[in-house]
Amino acid sequence: MLRTLLPYVDVATRTREARLAFSAVPAAPGTAGRLIWRGGQRLLPPEFLVRRDGRPGVFLLDGERARFHAIPDAEDGRPIAVKLAPGARLISDGRQRLSDGDAVRPIADGE
């Protein structure tokens, strides 16, 4: 159980120190550990992020066109929290060279 969450956030690692209360055998004082938080929010891997006109975002397939979807809060090298419409198709191959509105063709399995 969480006993205390220290207010200091390490900006570089985006981590915080927490103090826990144990229900069984406690850890030895000073023992380091890692707690991985799994929230309900879906995240995209950071490699999908591209920048256009200085704005971070991703490319989505819109018919036969690539559409740039800006994500203002995205940070380079960090997973991206984004709300996409159900069925949205993310463009992965060739996204670095795309511009908004470029014609694209989905690649079929095995191509």
Q: Is residue 95 packed enough to be buried (19+ CB in 10 Å), middle (13-18) or exposed (0-12)? A: middle
User: Mean pLDDT for the chain?
Assistant: 87
pLDDT-derived band of residue 111, with 50, 70 and 90 as boundaries?
Answer: low
> Which of 1-5, 35-39, 45-49, 93-97 is predicted with the least confidence, judged by mean pLDDT?
35-39
pTM: 0.64
CA distance 47 to 56: 12
Tell me if residue 2 falls in helix, strand or coil: strand
